[in-house]
Structure formats: structure tokens, C-alpha cells
Amino acid sequence: MIAYTPPFPERPLQAASALQLLLTARRNLVAIWPDSAFDRPFLTHKLLRRRLVVVNSPELVREVFVEKAEVFQRKSAQQRHALEPLIGDGLFISDGETWKGRRRAVQTVTHVSKLAELAPAMSAGAGHLLADWKGRAAGTEIDALSEMAELTAGIICASIFGQRLGARSAAAVVGAFSAYQNLIGQIDVMSLLGLPEFLPRWQGWRVGRAARKIQRVLDGLITEALDREAGEASLLRSLSASASEDGTGFDRQAIRNEAAVLFMAGHETTANTLAWAWFLLSQDGETERRLHAEVDSVLGDGPATFEDVKRLPFTRAVIEETLRLYPPVPLQAREAVADSTIGGRTVKRGDLVVLNAWTLHRHRRLWDEPDAFRPDRFMPGGGGAPSRYAYVPFSIGPRICTGAAFGLTEAVICLATLARHHRLKLRPGWVVEPTCRLSLRPGTRLPMLLEHRP
């Protein structure tokens, strides 16, 4: 049986000029890669006054992001300046001692051992949307991207602040974050020109307004969640306690910054993964049939639970293959803080080194049918990833996403719960194109028709 091959941007046979690359990157970061990028282990390009180095093999990924992590720990100026208005010195863009202290506190509260405590919020969120979908008429058109964003935002808000507070504010934060991502600049030209870091970057007044809207909501929730004597258990209270225990001593602003990181990473990435999964299932009838057979045999009428996850291997394989084809944050750029080498090649201080999951996950020398949708590769006996450094949807090394297990579990619970009773079909004639700004989305919206399963 021929596997379904989902859409990807055209791959030019020749590498673009610096100007063409910059213009394309402003629109879509996954459209800049030539066909040769999916064969080669190492790529370099000069962007204005900066050298761009792409590590595109498991061996080089391990060397850079594990063995030489101290040299390549610092996030790129583009990522820092794009996210600083929203998350300040939050874990995602901090480095050095600030990063080490925050990392210790955050990974304690998002560790895989905490999943059993966090999963009820996932099941509750999926159950609420399931009830909503059951009340809608068959054939109703929904924006699957927006629906998944609201679902995962509700779950992460409930997890961070407690279910009583979280559900109330999820929609407001989702809208503001979508506006923020649509407005933020893709390329830090000042950095590429070699201009000093201290010079301010003009992001536009609407970027600041969206960031302040999110921060106001978070400030209110933090005050209410932490100042109540008998506050509900939540990631926020655990984070505050963890920071106190290890001496990190988070002040209120630091807590808000890390709450913003948890929200950004915890809702946007999983929402995009679920939206992509619905699209892929709508285009591949055999995979959809197999997923339905599994969820029908495991679940009853209610939402999936944490205990169900281990009995849903094909649902998990669908999510893992979705993450391979459409990694939520496909490009992770780091700035070399000292002269070094990569694979014996010289890298200078200030060079940008990129972990490119978009090309690595579709590399022709690593994967069989790299552009095809084949969940079976992640089933027992399917071979899986050719290397742990060839499959990096959550990054790799010391800066691997602390919420990876949370996001994967959440995606399985939500997809299984909703697919047990519904299927989504893409609006006829709608063209889906992978588009990456801060994260990889199926465009700005994903119109799909809701169908009820018997």
C-alpha cells in the first residue's frame, strides 16, 4: 500500500542568495531549504555579516547540542529579541546561571513522574470539548487550529493555575498569543549586520500591546493563585515551592516569566501537533480506520485517562509521526560563545548554529520514505528513529523541553478522546501549506467539517 505524502514547501534545486533567503524567511522559515539540504550532513551560508551553520546528521547534533552544549547553549539573537517582550528572562531564552537555576525548578514540576497528577486536567479539557462537539450539528465547519489552541490553552492554564482559575482566562491568552506570533519579526537584521546587542530592536507597538495583555492576565492569575491561603494544587504553586527549596528565590516577575514560558510551550506546540494530526487523518483513510479501531476497543464514552495511554500505541504512533513530519519548533538556532569545531570544521565565536528538525526529520539518508506519513515506523517492530539524535521534536541535550512528556501524553489523550466519537474532514478545495514563524502551523486556519461517528 502506498503511504500518503502530505504537503511540504517547494524545494529549489539551487541554494538561494542571501537576499532571497532573507525575504523568504520573513514569510516562512521552512520554505528556505533547497533540495540538497535533505541529503547533506552539514550546511553553511553567509547571511550579511553572520555565518549560518546547519548541523544535519545525528553525529553532529550530538557533538553540538550534547558534547559541546556549553559552547552552543546561547539562543540566537532572533529568538531572544522575538520572545523577550513576552517572557523576559524566562527559561526558553535565558542562559548561564539564570538558566541553570530556572531549569532546576521547572524540570522538578514538569517531570515525567508528575504526569499522573497532571493528566486529570488533560482528560477534563478533552471531555469538555467532546461534549461541545456532540452538541453541534453534523457537517458544522470548525477551525481545527483554533479549536485545538483553545483546548490545549485551557489544559495548560488549568495545570499552571488550577482548574478553577485556568479555564476562565484561557481564551484571552490564546487570542493575544496568536496576535503576538503573527506580528513578531522573523529576522533580526541588526544582529546579522553585527550590530551590538544593547541596541534596541523595534518590534512595533502592537507586539508590546499583545505581550502586555498576556502579562496582565498572568499577573492576575498569579496573585489569585498564590495569595489564597488554601490555594488549589497547580504547577504554579509547585514551581514557587521548588524555587524556595533550592534557593532560587523567584520573585513575582520571575514567576510570571516562567508561567508565560510554560503557557507558550504547553499550549502552542501541542495545539499545532493536534491540528496537523487531524489534517493527516483526514487525508489517510486507512490510518484513520486503524486509529478508530484502537480507540473504540480501549475507550468507553468518556474521555481517555492517563491509565489508557499505554493501551493506545497506535494513537501515540500517529502523534509521534506527526511530530516527525511537522515538528512544532523546527529550527533551534544557537550562537557560539567561543571559537570551536564541528565535525572538524572551524566555527567562530558569534556564528549561528542551527538544529534543523525540518531537514533532519526528512533526511533521505536517515529515513525510509522520509516525506511519507507512516505511523507504523513508531510501532513495536517498526524501527522507530534511526538515532535518538535524528528525531528531535522537543530539541535535545541539556536544553531539551522539560514538558516533552506532558505534551506527548496530552496529545494522545486529546486525540483519542475526540476521535472515539468524531472525525474531521478538510473543507473541499482548501489548500494546506506548512508555515513557520515562531512555530510550525498548517497556515493561519484549518477549516474542517465535523462528523459524528456512530
Amino acid at the residue 444:
T
Alpha helices, DSSP H, located in 299-388: 306-309, 313-325, 357-360
Residue 103 lies in a domain: yes
Is 159 part of any domain?
yes
Amino acid 200: pLDDT: 59
Task: For residue 63, give the CATH number of its domain.
Answer: 1.10.630.10
For residue 41, the 8-state DSSP code is S
At position 409, the amino acid (one-letter code) is: T
Q: Could you tell me if residue 12 is inside a domain? A: no
Q: Is residue 137 part of a domain?
A: yes
**What was the pLDDT predicted at 222?**
80
Residue 13 forms part of a structural domain:
no
> Structurally, how many domains does the chain consist of?
1
> Does a structural domain hold residue 4?
no
- Please check whether residue 321 lies inside any domain of the structure: yes
Residue 190 sits in which domain range? 18-452
Eight-state DSSP code of residue 42: E
Q: From first to last of the 454 residues of the chain, give the pLDDT tens digit.
A: 789 999 999 998 887 777 777 778 778 889 989 999 999 999 988 776 788 899 999 999 999 999 999 999 888 777 777 778 888 888 777 888 888 877 877 777 777 888 888 899 999 999 999 999 999 999 999 999 999 998 998 898 888 877 665 556 677 777 777 777 666 655 555 455 454 565 555 566 667 787 888 888 888 878 777 765 455 566 777 776 666 555 555 777 888 888 888 877 778 899 999 999 999 999 999 999 999 999 999 999 999 999 999 999 999 999 999 999 999 999 988 999 999 999 999 999 999 999 999 999 999 999 999 999 999 999 999 999 999 999 999 999 988 888 899 999 999 999 999 999 999 999 999 999 999 977 899 998 999 999 999 8
pTM of the model: 0.90
Q: Quote the CA–CA distance of 374 and 377 in Å, as a whole number.
A: 6
Helix intervals (H) in 162-202: 163-183, 189-192
Domain membership of residue 74 (yes or no) is: yes
Q: How many residues does the chain have?
A: 454
